[in-house]
Amino acid sequence: MIAILGGGLTGLSAAYHLRDLPHVVLEAEGTPGGLCRTREVGGFLFDDTGHLLHVRDPRAIALVDRLLPGAFRVVERRAFVRTRGVTVPFPFQANLHGLPPDVVEDCLVGFLESLAAPRAEGEDASFEEWVLATLGSGIGRAFLFPYAEKLFRREPSRMTADWVSWSVPRPTPREIVRGALGIRNEGMGYNATFRYPLRGGIGILPAALADAVGTIRCGARVVEADLDAREVALADGERIRFDRLVVTIPLPAFLGMVRGGGDLAAEAASLDWSVVSCFNLGVDRPGIGGGAHWIYFPDPDVPFYRVGFPTAFSDSVAPPGTSSLYVETGLSREETPDPGALEAAVIDGLRREGILEESDRILVRDRAVLDPGYVVFDRARRRALARILPALEASGVHAVGRYGAWTYSYMERALLDGIEVAERLRAAV
């Protein structure tokens, strides 16, 4: 028996690709889907923050098309960065035109200096060192450093760069000069296009996987995993035996419930994360966001780091004549802001930044808290995972996915993690 802990995208993908072998998916919540659930509030459909499907791998494309033929449309990204009262196209480093002249000068000079600097490579390079060597000090100061601090609640010098070094495009000298002159650079980065459902919100994808699997037990909260006895215990006292265990739930929480297999619980103290507070709003005016899909906000005096506009993805997610927004604020684990005060600050910030007008009437207010939200990448994490993951593998435990493997991930990667762990398990049969 293969037991899969967690019914998010990775767990569901693993189950789908193991469907002819004995297995069970144990999901603590009442419905599967993990962070990819969609819920209806007052006629609006809200995902848990922005969940857009960026697919390039043929395996992921084939899976989505097989499960939901014709259900998604391909969209060209319209993303922006708003800072210092100016809105510029994303990616920031390739579209500097319109920023204050001293900021443009600082970014250009810093980038040119970085061309002669030695590349910050190796596992011990900090995020700060990587930015300075790859994009320069000006771009770091103007965007990447303040944005990362808002997202992770951690100083750039205390993080490593492996969460982002693969995804941030480094412009050529010609591209950065063109962008500074106002010649827009399009299509840069891994997320230049995305897929989004024509109808129903992103939750239709995990729902289709769950329907195809049929081995999911919702409301099955695991409280103990005995690796020596090869069984997990549920909150209601039931014990389920397994031969192999696939873990997609947050790794620190799993380590806290492990019995046997060596002392791994202490390693959880080396794993850190930030919390995402997301306010979902339904507003009585169409076209909010001006056609943007999402906007980044690096300025420290703005309480959120990103605002997305689901009605720009699909007009099916809100009633006619309205708009919907998701507004993301990063928190440390120690922060416990008053939700009412945080919401008031968010609404005020949206008005100051020109997203909301004074006359806009908010029809629906909804809040989601993702805890954990983003894994914090640092040297302590790397050292801990080098001990944790091999020890778990030796005990027949496969920790995969964004939270199981404690990494940065996205929807396509979650689907592929499920495919790949299923392949490894099949090879071991």
pLDDT tens digits, 47-63: 988 899 999 999 999 99
pLDDT one-digit tens code per residue, 129-172: 999 999 999 999 999 999 999 999 999 999 998 888 777 888 99
> d(Cα 414, Cα 400) in Å, to the nearest integer?
9
Q: Model's pTM, two decimal places?
A: 0.94
Banded model confidence at residue 190, pLDDT cuts 50, 70, 90: confident
Which pLDDT score, from 0 to 100, does residue 182 have? 92
Which pLDDT score, from 0 to 100, does residue 170 have? 87
> d(Cα 213, Cα 27) in Å, to the nearest integer?
13
Per-residue DSSP letters for 84-126?
Answer: TTEEEESSGGG--TTS-HHHHHHHHHHHHHHHHSPP--STT-B
> d(Cα 305, Cα 272) in Å, to the nearest integer?
20
